[in-house]
Structure 1
Amino acid sequence: MHLERWVSQETVKPHAAVMAINITCQKLEGVKYTGSKEEWYGLLNSITKGFVQRKATDISLTLVGDDKAVYRGNEAHQEYVISATLGGNEQVIYNITWLDFFKNTALTVSVSGNILIDDTVNGKYRALVKTIAANL
């Protein structure tokens, strides 16, 4: 597997809370992405386990239905929202993962921050998804 990651952070006033943007591209080698339910389950289960390993509490992972999805295109994808408390800091993380079967890649966009800046985090997530989706 080949992995590339881009991370950006900015402080959001007036709360001085940090918003993080994380974009990850994974290219599988030797195995093909299928988009099966089992494959999505494995991805989401792996993400949840990562929060447990980081000692997060109150972990919640919610799949976003088509009626509330930001992305309206035809590429294989899954949108999901995670909330968790890390070291007393209640976080919200908006995510989308797209699968490109031809290139055998998974592109994940995540925008996170303290629950106090949820509107700002959600707005940044929506803007990024729309920008990236226009170039898929």
Structure 2
Amino acid sequence: MPMPLRNERGFTLLEALASMVILGFVVVGVMNLSGYTMNANARATSMEEAQQIAEEKLSIVREHIRANDALPAPLVYPIDEYTVTIQADDDLENVTYDASSFAPRHTSLQAHALIGGMPRLVTVTVSWGEPE
């Protein structure tokens, strides 16, 4: 007959359950972190694309102004999931913007240009997301 072992060490059911709960919290935390990272990456990609579109459109607008002495039409138009808005303001000190076509996320680039012999501040805004 085998002899009973004394001082036998092992995990109790309560200890195993506690370690599984802790492991569960760690797994949920890692999953939340990876979701946040994916969202941040998507936002950064959208911002980079918007900046590239804004740079390209501002260059096109400046060339159009040089050739035609006027802003190109239309002043608001879509490109893929983005909306491009072109504005010019003749008051260079107190610039105001019509933000009605802006979506919650947007980026703008500006340049000075002579339109009709007057200095104007030209702003190209690229926005994305649902309008507010």
Measured against the shorter chain, the TM-score band is under 0.3
Q: Name whichever structure is richer in strand by fraction.
A: 1
TM-score for the superposition, normalised by structure 2: 0.27
TM value normalised by structure 1: 0.26
Q: Which has the larger radius of gyration?
A: 2
